[in-house]
């Protein structure tokens, strides 16, 4: 089959249909030739192979007037195969376009996808001549036009944001109200019957675990497992094909966003730009490695090997202008074309690295900060990686929020009764100001969480002392061992009512702490209904009911906890002092200072020596606002008498985690004989 190939344009990159034909453009600084391969509708037969005729500013490009949306394609890139010089060109390998807007099919693992001969004594210095096209997914030419209609992003202020970390499939796979054929897809999450749970719970944003195209790791497939979480990205523009329903297309994602917006819920994407699915020097050749390995990846002192700060074999080279452009173009695409409201960046420290280490003024962080499109969306960093001095909590620049794992560890440790946790608890209740109160940052910069996808669920945090990861087939070696968890007297499932009552009390206390703390709360999908992973704290490869949300047939305890969580969220929304826009130890502009006072059980102010008493587990936080608020914390196993401070009126109870009460009408409190219940948090409000 012949095609009338024209020179086309070096811009924009990717496959761009203009209503008449398609322009193809791909960056490679070190290639000697780039061939465009076209495939039949099923992706099984290569129907044409043409060399892109022009090379402008290190971009290879050509225009085909015959090519329409739906056409499948891929690339073969020629150049030297010199791993010892960082060059790994192999035209026998079909490559994914970094700018592909959609992929068709999944990878079928075969030795042919490796650029070297598997099993050869020379390892990656050998050369494999097998064609990989028969096992590779194909890129799809897409018509990006979509009629959005009146889509109005909620634009929820940071101070009012409540995040729900979720998984597209996990949210919908067990929902009996959604048709079987679409469960687990973007279309399912667009269904009002799925969105209704988020609305009634009261969260304002859903943070979706990776939805960009990713592959299952070969070693997982060989064990009968999958990469359920999705932190193995290969396409920065294409949605993951596994989340597109049968017969559906790329527009399903956009429909999901619009429907969530209609419900007042923002969409935040968990994105992985720090590494790709191509692994280390022994990994497969799927895209970037075969297009221009020396440009796309950070290489070591010996360029045969990668400079790896991610623990995943490679690190994307954001110091290269074209690679930086790729990531920036991707982010803008998801905002402008797909209307997403923000991003959570996996291992974000790697995005701010140069050879000397993390730099808050790194080229990527500076580029994002000044970008007029990205400057209006929410940006969240996971502030660590596996490289040297990789832990950077509190060091990201203004405009960024950060996952605060210190909050998680302290809150868990405090409620299970560990000694010496009061100073840390006090800091985190007020937005971890010691780390975040600088350069004009606000309390919302601290993303507070007690649980996240990585680790125990809330139910498992109070049900297991140890991880139980045997299902991952790694002999229980994977996952963290420092979980700050407590089984409340019995490991795993229990029928002991006292154990179950204590577990309920513990999870109410932690959820209550989360939702009254200054900062941005993040709730893990299913924590509100007691979802358990059976003690697995690293369920990344479990695509089954271990990870899926079940909302029907809840136990009486879990139904009560769901109601408790809803009431807490409503309380936070209705009480501005739980989400103060400024750090409480200083005045907001034009306002009077808010007085914060820490109290001992005798009602007197905490003194320096009190903070250093390791046995102290009871604390009062008095916020002299209008009205005044008093939060009382007790992680003792017994109740503790507490002398209430005098206020202008009288106190009334608005939260009692020991009983699960968040009353619609606050309950008056009598000062005489008042005690804070064991393992309990109480919040009182002044009534004048």
Confidence of residue 589 (pLDDT cuts 50, 70, 90): very low
How confident is the model at residue 150, as a pLDDT? 85
Answering whether pTM is above 0.85, one says yes
Higher pLDDT, 355 or 508: 508
Buried b or exposed e, range 275-305, using 16+ CB within 10 angstroms: bbbbbebebbbbbbbbbbbbbbbbbeeebbb
How confident is the model at residue 149, as a pLDDT? 81
Give which of 480, 487, 525 is closest to 506, Cα–Cα.
Answer: 487
Mean pLDDT of 635-645: 95
Least confident of 61-65, 78-82, 563-567, 581-585: 581-585
Q: Does the structure show a pLDDT above 60 at 587?
A: no
For 659-683, the pLDDT digits (tens) are: 999 988 888 887 667 999 999 999 9
Segment holding 36, helix H or strand E = strand 33-39
Q: How many whole angstroms separate alpha carbon 471 and alpha carbon 485?
A: 20
How confident is the model at residue 292, as a pLDDT? 98
346 is catalytic: yes
Confidence of residue 1 (pLDDT cuts 50, 70, 90): low
For 97-126, the pLDDT digits (tens) are: 999 999 999 999 999 999 999 999 999 999
382 is catalytic: yes
> Chain-wide mean pLDDT for the chain?
95
3 state DSSP class of 237:
strand
Q: What ranges in 144-286 are assigned the alpha helix state H?
A: 168-172, 186-189, 192-201, 218-222, 251-262
- In contact, 72 and 267? CB cutoff 8 Å: no
Give which of 289, 253, 308, 344 is closest to 90, Cα–Cα.
Answer: 289
Q: How many whole angstroms separate alpha carbon 136 and alpha carbon 106?
A: 7
For 537-581, the pLDDT digits (tens) are: 999 999 999 999 999 999 999 999 999 999 999 999 999 889 988
In sequence order, the β-bridge partners of residue 78 are 33
Kindly name the residue from 382, 402, 409, 685 that is annotated as catalytic: 382
Q: How many whole angstroms separate alpha carbon 517 and alpha carbon 496?
A: 32
Say if residue 627 is preceded by a cis peptide, omega within 30 of 0: yes
How confident is the model at residue 491, as a pLDDT? 98
Instruction: Measure CA 350 to chain center.
Output: 15
Q: Does the structure show a pLDDT above 90 at 4?
A: no
Mean pLDDT of 606-632: 93
Q: What six digits make up the tokens of 228? A: 């359920």
For 444-496, the pLDDT digits (tens) are: 999 999 999 999 999 999 999 999 999 999 999 999 999 999 999 999 999 99
3 state DSSP class of 529:
helix
In sequence order, the β-bridge partners of residue 633 are 619, 681
Q: Does the structure show a pLDDT above 60 at 276?
A: yes
Least confident of 301-310, 314-323, 340-349, 619-628: 619-628
C-alpha separations of 644 from 585, 595, 651, 680, 685 in Å: 22, 17, 9, 16, 12
For 192-225, the pLDDT digits (tens) are: 999 999 999 999 999 999 999 999 999 999 999 9
Kindly name the residue from 216, 270, 346, 527 that is annotated as catalytic: 346
């Amino acid at each position: 089959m012949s095609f009338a190939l024209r020179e086309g344009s070096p811009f924009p990159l990717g496959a761009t249909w203009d209503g008449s034909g398609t322009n193809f453009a791909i960056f490679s600084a070190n290639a000697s030739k780039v061939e465009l391969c076209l495939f039949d509708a099923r992706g099984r037969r290569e129907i044409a192979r043409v060399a892109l005729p022009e090379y402008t500013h290190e971009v290879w490009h050509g225009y085909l007037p015959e090519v329409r949306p739906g056409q499948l394609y891929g690339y073969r890139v020629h150049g030297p195969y010199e791993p010892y010089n960082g060059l790994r060109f192999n035209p026998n390998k079909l490559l994914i376009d970094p700018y592909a807007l959609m992929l068709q099919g999944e990878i079928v693992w075969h030795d042919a996808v490796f650029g070297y001969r598997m099993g050869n004594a020379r390892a990656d210095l050998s050369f494999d001549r097998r064609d990989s096209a028969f096992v590779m997914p194909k890129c799809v030419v897409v018509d990006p036009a979509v009629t959005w209609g009146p889509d109005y992003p909620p634009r929820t202020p940071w101070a009012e944001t409540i995040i729900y970390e979720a998984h597209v499939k996990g949210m919908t796979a067990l929902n009996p109200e959604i048709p079987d054929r679409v469960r687990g897809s973007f279309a399912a999450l667009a269904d009002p019957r799925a969105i209704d749970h988020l609305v009634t719970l009261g969260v304002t944003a859903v943070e979706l675990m990776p939805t960009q195209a990713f592959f299952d790791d070969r070693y997982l497939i060989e064990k009968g497992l999958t990469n359920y979480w999705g932190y193995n990205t290969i396409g920065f523009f294409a949605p993951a094909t596994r989340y597109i329903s049968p017969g559906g297309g790329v527009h399903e994602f956009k429909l999901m966003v619009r429907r969530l917006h209609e419900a007042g819920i923002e969409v935040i994407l968990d994105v992985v730009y720090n590494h790709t699915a191509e692994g280390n020097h022994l990994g497969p050749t799927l895209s970037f490695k075969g297009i221009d390995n020396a440009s796309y990846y950070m290489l070591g002192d010996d360029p045969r090997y990668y400079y790896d700060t991610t623990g995943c074999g490679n690190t994307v080279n954001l110091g290269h202008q074209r690679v930086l452009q790729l990531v920036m173009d991707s982010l803008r695409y998801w905002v402008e074309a797909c209307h997403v409201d923000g991003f959570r960046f996996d291992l974000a420290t790697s995005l701010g690295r140069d050879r000397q280490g993390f730099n808050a003024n790194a080229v990527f962080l500076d580029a994002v900060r000044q970008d007029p499109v990205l400057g209006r969306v929410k940006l969240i960093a996971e502030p660590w990686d596996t490289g040297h001095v990789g832990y950077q909590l509190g060091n990201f620049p203004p405009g960024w929020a950060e996952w605060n794992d210190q909050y998680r560890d302290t809150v868990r440790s405090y409620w299970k009764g560990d000694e010496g946790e009061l100073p840390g608890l006090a800091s985190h209740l007020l937005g971890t100001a010691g780390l975040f109160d600088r350069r004009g940052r606000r309390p919302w910069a601290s993303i507070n969480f007690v649980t996240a996808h990585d680790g125990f669920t809330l139910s498992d945090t109070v049900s297991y002392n140890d991880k139980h990861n045997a299902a991952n087939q790694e002999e229980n070696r994977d996952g963290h061992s420092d979980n700050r968890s407590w089984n409340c007297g019995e490991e795993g499932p229990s029928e002991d009512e006292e154990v179950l009552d204590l577990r309920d009390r513990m999870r109410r206390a932690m959820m209550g702490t989360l939702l009254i703390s200054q900062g941005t709360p993040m709730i893990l999908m299913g924590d509100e209904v007691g979802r358990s992973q059976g003690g697995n704290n690293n369920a990344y490869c479990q695509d089954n009911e271990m990870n899926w949300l079940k909302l029907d047939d809840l136990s009486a305890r879990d139904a009560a906890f769901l109601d408790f969580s809803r009431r807490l969220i409503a309380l936070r929304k209705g009480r501005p002092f739980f989400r103060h826009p400024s750090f409480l130890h200083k005045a907001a502009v034009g306002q009077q200072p808010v007085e914060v006072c820490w109290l001992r059980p005798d009602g007197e102010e905490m003194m320096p020596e009190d903070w250093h008493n390791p046995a102290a587990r009871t604390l009062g936080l008095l916020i002299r606002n209008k009205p005044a608020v008093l939060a009382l914390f007790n992680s003792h196993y017994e109740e503790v008498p507490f002398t209430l401070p005098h206020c202008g009126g009288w106190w009334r109870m608005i939260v009692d985690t020991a009983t699960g009460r968040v009353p619609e009408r606050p309950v008056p409190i009598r000062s005489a004989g008042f005690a804070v219940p064991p393992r309990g948090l109480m919040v009182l409000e002044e009534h004048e």
